[in-house]
Amino acid sequence: MENLIQIERKARIFNIQKYSIYDGPGIRTLFFFKGCPLRCKWCSNPESLERKYQVMYQRKLCVDCGECVKVCPLNIHKMEEGIHYVDRSINCNGCRLCEQVCPKRALSIAGEDRLISDLLEIAIQDIPFYQTSGGGVTLGGGEVATQPEFAANLLMECKNAGIHTAIETCGHAPLKSLLKIAEFCDLFLYDMKHINPEKHLEYTGVRNERILENLKELIERRYNVKVRMPLMKGLNNDPETIQKTIEFLEPYKDRKNFQGVDLLPYHKLGVNKYDQLDKIYTVKQDLSLSEEDLDLIEQQIKHYDFPVKVIRH
């Protein structure tokens, strides 16, 4: 790749999380990219889905003081009979004035444009933790591959600083975008949400042919890949679905760059964010798996000599 060093770019980020132990080896710093091509029914980061800025509003904290109405240049914040509400038909410009004047912190803006140098500085602060734990930086989302040039540049700068790099990806992206990132990525944490293309479409809004093809390409091109399987009771935890997933992965299990499977049990973290965005969380049933359920899936995969681990938050 040409002239990447010292190129300064901006990416839209919606969260930065330090000291994570769930998203790659060791202690890690996570940068969450805004924008995603999937619409998973169980998504725990609804503020990650759209690239645009979004107003997050906690009604229960609001005292209807109207300070946000006074400062918003776009008239997004309105009062009706003394009650504050957010006009979702108007796109936020990310000025954050409402966030700054809200006395009860009922308002926050999802989305912030950050420079490579900004994020690199944050990552470098924790190099001692990476060195002692075998950790590093992980880019997540949303979907990292929606902003591939920035991701590749940031990972390259992390590599230059001696930091281990990883990305979390749904895999639904042009292969060229993933390969652009792969040059500087030590580990792909690659989601397999459902092996059946029709079920994948039903649950995520897209079919999975491209996702599976990209996964094969990355493994066959010898990039380090760990598959991650989000597990939801009644959606993708049945023995047949697990079996077909194993059959798809079995040709690669002896490759050194295929690093096994992480099982990610469903959780309800982030459900309250839907209210803050005036969105409806459409999952009505309990998708949680019992320890017995998880043990059965783990044993089914281990039977085929796959490295497998349940990631419990």
pLDDT digits (tens, 9 = 90+) for 179-234: 999 999 999 999 999 999 999 999 999 999 999 999 999 999 999 999 999 999 99
- Topology adopted by domain 54-110: Alpha-Beta Plaits (3.30.70)
C-alpha to C-alpha distance for 105 and 281, rounded to whole angstroms: 23
Task: Select from 149, 94, 80, 158 the least CA-distant residue to 126.
Answer: 158
For residues 167-172, average pLDDT? 98
* Contact in structure between 34 and 50 (CB atoms under 8 Å): yes
pLDDT at 216: 98
pTM confidence score: 0.94
Q: What is the pLDDT of residues 41-56, one digit of tens each?
A: 999 999 999 999 999 9
What is the pLDDT averaged over residues 69-82? 98
Q: Which two tokens stand for residue 12?
A: 């839209």
Helix-, strand-, coil-residue percentages of the chain, each rounded to 5: 35, 25, 45
CATH 3.30.930.10 for domain 10-50+112-310, yes or no, is no
Region(s) of the chain under CATH 3.20.20.70:
10-50+112-310
Report, in angstroms and rounded to the nearest whole number, the Rg of the chain calculated over CA atoms.
21
Beta strand extents in the chain (DSSP E only): 10-20, 28-33, 54-57, 77-80, 83-86, 107-110, 112-115, 136-141, 164-169, 187-191, 225-231, 258-265, 308-310
Q: Where are the alpha helices (DSSP H) in 58-192?
A: 67-71, 97-101, 116-124, 127-133, 148-160, 175-182
- The annotation places the binding site for [4Fe-4S] cluster at 36, 40, 43, 62, 65, 68, 102
Across the range 287-309, mean pLDDT stands at: 94
- Binding residues for S-adenosyl-L-methionine, as ranges, are 42-44, 142, 191-193, 267
Taking the C-alpha atoms of residue 182 and residue 187, their distance in angstroms, rounded to an integer, is: 8
Q: Are 202 and 261 in contact (CB under 8 A)?
A: no
Report, as an integer, the average pLDDT of 293-311. 93
CA–CA dist 184, 153 (Å, integer): 8
Distance CA 96, CA 165 (A): 31
The number of helices, as runs of H, and strands, as runs of E, in the chain is: 11, 13
Model confidence at 4: pLDDT above 90: no
For residues 82-89, give the mean pLDDT: 98
Mean pLDDT of the chain: 95
The residue-averaged pLDDT of 148-166 equals 97
Cα–Cα dist 191/311, whole Å: 13
Mean pLDDT across 289-303:
94
Give the H/E segment covering residue 296. helix 291-302
Extract the annotated binding site. 36, 40, 42-44, 62, 65, 68, 102, 142, 191-193, 267
Query: Is the pLDDT reported for residue 6 higher than 80?
Result: no
Average pLDDT estimate for 63-74 = 98
Tokens linked to 161: 């600083």
Pull the structure tokens for residue 113. Answer: 């444009």
**Per DSSP, what are the bridge partners of residue 310?**
263
Domain with CATH 3.30.70.20 in the chain: 54-110
**Amino acid of residue 303:** H
Mean pLDDT of 106-128: 97
- Tens digits of per-residue pLDDT, 233-290? 999 999 999 999 999 999 999 999 999 999 999 988 889 999 999 999 999 899 999 9
**Separation of alpha carbons 151 and 57, rounded Å:** 30
pLDDT band at 2 (very low <50, low <70, confident <90, very high): very low
